[in-house]
Amino acid sequence: MKYLRQLELFLTRFFRPVEMAAHRYLLAPIRFLLKQIDPLAAKIEGTLFKKILQLTIYPLFLVLTFVIGFKLVENGITFKTFTDTIIVFLVFGAVFAPLERLIPWSKRWQDDTELPSDWFLFFGGKVWGDYINKPLRIAATAWVVQEISPEFGKQIWPIQLHPVLQVLLLLSVSDFFRYWYHRWMHTNELMWRWHAVHHSSERLYWFNGTRSHPLEGLVSSIIWAIPFALIKAPVEIVFVTNLLGRTIGRFQHTNMDLILGPFDYIFSSPKNHRYHHSKSHVIGHTNYGGDVIFWDILFGTFYLPKGEEPSDDIGIEEMPNYPKSFFGLMMAPFTYGTLKKEMEELNQSKKLTTLENQTENHNAYRSTNS
Ligand SMILES: [Zn+2]
Ligand SMILES: [Zn+2]
């Protein structure tokens, strides 16, 4: 795999400048518009208006998702095509990006110049997701449904419950599977190779919840689709649950400074997810929930110390050479062994330098005292 790493470094040398230039110039107008919000952000600092925003944005968006979701499905509008999903993202971005600028949690995370790979991962992931993942996922779920009678799911689904409760129930059940898959990806090194791409991000904001390796997405989407296929909830419930998952996902990685109170103990929130992205493995191996957080509370992996704030210094600490470019990230699961070796060599040389310095200091001490 050493050769793969060399190939990656070779490709990166050529394409990284293109990646950086595209990111810098294509996004320049958006960056300019967002910067216009800064004076307003400074003006509302410490005001009651800001407090109201911090308290109300999250519950307001949850309610809006339910209202808009049920209205859309009532009118026969569901998001099916590639363009549909892009439009949904643009709508989220048009609202989330200005709000992140107005009430930022970390000023450091406002600097986006180092992360053009998010855009490539998003579009690449979308093309892969729609044209490769989808047919495979449909085939896998069709097989499961064929093996287990679809009537089974219909019989157990509580259709008599209020639709909002049905959505929350479906969200919680599917997140149970997601919780265990996510936990497995953190505790098994072979799985971590894929998931590390998501954790290589050095800042969190509304857009990078979608940052993951396409092959990780393939396995996870099949695993998550199976409960949906078996449970057989009505189609409108599945649609609204899906939409609610998108809203929660954008908030989970947002850089907005929100005051969530009890929501931090129900959903996978920005605050508890920031701990999940911690550089420390001990802290990072917590808060696995994708949509809800109570599976973590139940299975002992919840972490939210009172009176403390998570650090905004996030990423993969032990691997300073971990790639940043699109090509590098695509190849990172395959070059992981070489990256690990590079890390060990780096640690070894650090240890040697410390030892040499200690010996030198010791000798100097002896010569001055003899
Ligand atoms: Zn994770
Ligand atoms: Zn994340």
Q: What is the pTM of this model?
A: 0.85
Going from the Cα of 139 to the center of ligand 1, the distance in angstroms, rounded, reads 27
Query: Rounded to an integer, what distance in angstroms lies between the CA atom of residue 58 and that of residue 41?
Result: 19
Q: Tell me what pLDDT residue 305 has.
A: 95
Query: 267 — phi, psi (to 5°)?
Result: -110, 165
Q: 272, 287 in Cβ contact below 8 A? A: yes
**Cα 127 to ligand 1 centre (Å):** 23
350 Ramachandran zone, left/alpha/beta (phi>0; psi -120 to 50): alpha
The DSSP output letter for 304 is -
| Ligand nearest to the CA of residue 185, numbered in listed order | 1
Which ligand places an atom closest to the C-alpha of 210?
2
**Cβ neighbour number for residue 72 with a 10 Å cutoff:** 16
pLDDT at position 302 is 97
Ligand 2 centroid, distance to 324 Cα (angstroms): 17
Å from CA of 287 to ligand 2 middle: 10
Q: Among 246, 221, 203, which Cα is nearest to 93's?
A: 246
pLDDT for res 27: 80
CA 18 distance to own-chain centroid: 25
Q: What's the gap in Å between 158 CA and the centre of ligand 2?
A: 32
Confirm if 197 and 339 have CB atoms less than 8 A apart: no
User: Any idea where the domains of the chain sit in the sequence?
Assistant: 37-317
pLDDT tens digits, one per residue of 201-251: 888 998 887 788 888 877 777 777 777 777 778 888 988 998 999 999 999
Cα–Cα distances (Å) from 287 to 9, 56, 106, 169, 214, in that order, read 34, 24, 20, 20, 23
256, β-bridge pairs:
104
pLDDT computed for residue 276 by the predictor: 96
Burial category of 350 from C-beta neighbours within 10 Å (exposed 0-12, middle 13-18, buried 19 and up): exposed
Half-sphere exposure of 288 (CA within 13 A, CB side): 24
Q: Please enumerate in sequence order all residues whose Cβ is within 8 A of that of 314, keeping only pairs 6 or more positions apart, or say none.
A: 201, 202, 203, 204, 274, 277, 278, 279
- Residue 198 Cα to ligand 2 midpoint, Å, equals 6
The conformation of residue 191, written as its DSSP 8-state character, comes to H
- Name the closest ligand to CA 201: 2
Contact assessment for residue 202 and residue 275, using Cβ atoms and an 8 Å cutoff? no
Q: Rank 18-22, 189-193, 322-326, 342-346 by mean pLDDT and report only the highest.
A: 189-193
pLDDT classification of 301: cutoffs 50, 70, 90: very high
DSSP-derived secondary structure letter, 76: T
Q: How much distance in Å is there from the Cα of 276 to the middle of ligand 1? A: 7
How far is ligand 1, taken at its centre, from the CA of residue 273, in Å? 9
Cα-Cα-Cα-Cα dihedral of 316, 318, 320, 324, to 10°? -30
Q: How far is the CA of 276 from the centre of ligand 2 (A)?
A: 7
CA of 185 from ligand 1 middle (Å) equals: 7
Q: Mean pLDDT, to the nearest integer, of 160-175? A: 93
pLDDT in tens, 144-159: 666 665 566 667 788 8
- Which ligand has the nearest atom to the CA of 211? 2
More confident residue, 235 or 115: 235
In the predicted structure, residue 368 carries a pLDDT above the cut 60: no
Instruction: Give mean pLDDT, residues 95-108.
Output: 94
The pLDDT value given to residue 121: 74
pLDDT recorded at residue 147:
66
Of 90-99, 131-140, 186-195, minimum mean pLDDT range:
131-140
Which two structure tokens, joined as six digits, stand for 223?
A: 């695993």
175 strand-pairing partners: none
| Ligand 2 centroid from CA 290, angstroms | 8
Residue 83, amino acid: T
Calpha distance 239→171 (Å, rounded): 11
Q: Percentage of the chain with pLDDT > 70?
A: 87
Closest ligand to residue 195's CA: 1
- In the beta sheet, which residues pair with residue 292? 267
Q: How confident is the model at residue 253 (pLDDT cuts 50, 70, 90)?
A: very high
Higher pLDDT, residue 11 or 52: 52
**Are the beta carbons of 112 and 27 closer than 8 angstroms?**
yes
pLDDT tens for 57-75 read 999 999 999 999 999 988 8
Which of 82-91, 101-110, 232-241 is predicted most confidently?
101-110
338 pLDDT above the threshold of 90: no
Alpha carbon 26 to its chain's center: 23
* Cβ contacts of 316 within 8 Å, gap of 6 or more: 196, 199, 200, 279, 322
Strand, helix or coil for residue 186: helix
55 CA distance to ligand 1 middle (Å): 27
Q: Cα(296)–Cα(287) distance, rounded to whole angstroms?
A: 6
How far is the centre of ligand 2, averaged over its atoms, from the C-alpha of 37 (Å)?
A: 26
